[in-house]
Structure 1
């Protein structure tokens, strides 16, 4: 009987030690899991807050660009682009800026100054976190001319050269990329009916698009 009781005593002592060890293991695992879960929740909250701040800032940027000088620009909500309000049309098959009347060229320069003021203001407000894409897009009337794409590009280039060379206004800078392009007869925002009789498409368009970078 004494030997049996001794074995029982050793068993229960070992069992108690085992349960105590398991309890501490479970307790440690619970604490670790709680810490990890807490960090994950905090990270999720931080990410959510950061995302909301980014979205809000992008909205502010988009709203601010809609407020660019309305004397010279209209905002097209469908295409999310600013479009020059000045009616600048080239004669058929021509791309030289001198074919544009002098008073229209002066208005064009004033529109360029409006863009310049906007970019300077954006630089002060957003620094290097927000860049802009300025697109000067030449167009051509749908008249079957084989070199309409080349012609439309030359029209856009002549406008850029006029501002940069004749008026010493270069809109290319650290926070603005300038893209010169010609859409020929294939671009969007064309004047209709889109045929050879419609000379309004013998023009160029200016688009200003925000390019949000890393929002901090």
Structure 2
């Protein structure tokens, strides 16, 4: 009985030490994620012409007035000056992520390109907003703005006209201004070491 008691005490102590170590490592990961989230806010201080950060939504708005024509997702329907601004914005974004991940090679980013649509009578605003986001991704690639090799995963999504989400977040009062893009830059700091994960 005494031997069993000693074994249990040792096991509990080891578990307590492991939990303390795991908590410290988790806190380090959280701190690093917070640092990287703060770093993304540099985009709107250094590049306010291209990006605006909204802390209440934790999102960046691409500060370029794209204003697709209604029911259009074609980059051909956008003025050349706007296209040039979109290329510059893409390069700024790519260079920012590349530099940040070089400084922190164990960190990855999730870049979400979100298309939006204005509220009109169309039943295809979600499909249209997705096509707009996809058009921007393809347009960037055609102009040598790639995120390959930057520790960055790129996702394409469309939030339509916001009716189905029920939140109306990040919507402009003037509907034509909602024919645009939102950019989400999320740091993925990694996971707790394998010694803490279940096999």
TM-score using structure 2 length: 0.79
Instruction: Decide whether aligned partners of structure 1 residues 178 and 29 sit closer, same or farther in structure 2, where only a CA change above 3 A counts.
Output: closer
For 1:113-128, what aligned pairs fall within 5 Å after superposition?
Answer: 113-127=91-105
Superposition deviation, residue 150 in structure 1: 2.3
Instruction: Decide whether aligned partners of structure 1 residues 33 and 150 sit closer, same or farther in structure 2, where only a CA change above 3 A counts.
Output: closer
Match in the other structure for 1:90: 68
1:49 to 2:24 alignment: yes
Deviations 1:127-158 (A, max 9, x none): 1x322221222211111112222222222222
Contact 2:37 2:187 in 1 (8 A): yes
Distance across 2 between alignment mates of 1:38 and 1:204: 53
Aligned length in residues: 185
Decide which of 121, 124, 127 is 1:150's aligned counterpart: 127
Decide which of 179, 182, 188 is 2:155's aligned counterpart: 179
Distance across 2 between alignment mates of 1:156 and 1:40: 48
TM-score using structure 1 length: 0.73
Q: Which runs of 5+ in 1 are unaligned?
A: 1-24
Using the TM superposition, name which of 32-41 and 98-107 deviates more: 32-41
1:65 to 2:51 alignment: no
Match in the other structure for 2:196: none
The answer to which structure, 1 or 2, has the higher relative contact order (CA under 8 A, 6+ apart) is 2
Instruction: Decide whether aligned partners of structure 1 residues 110 and 174 sit closer, same or farther in structure 2, where only a CA change above 3 A counts.
Output: closer
Contact 2:113 2:133 in 1 (8 A): yes
Instruction: Decide whether aligned partners of structure 1 residues 51 and 139 sit closer, same or farther in structure 2, where only a CA change above 3 A counts.
Output: closer
Distance across 2 between alignment mates of 1:30 and 1:148: 66
Bigger Rg over Cα:
1
CA RMSD of aligned residues (A): 2.5
User: 3-state SS of the aligned residue for 1:209?
Assistant: strand
Superposition deviation, residue 81 in structure 1: 1.6
Q: Which runs of 5+ in 2 are unaligned?
A: 194-199
1:192 to 2:192 alignment: no
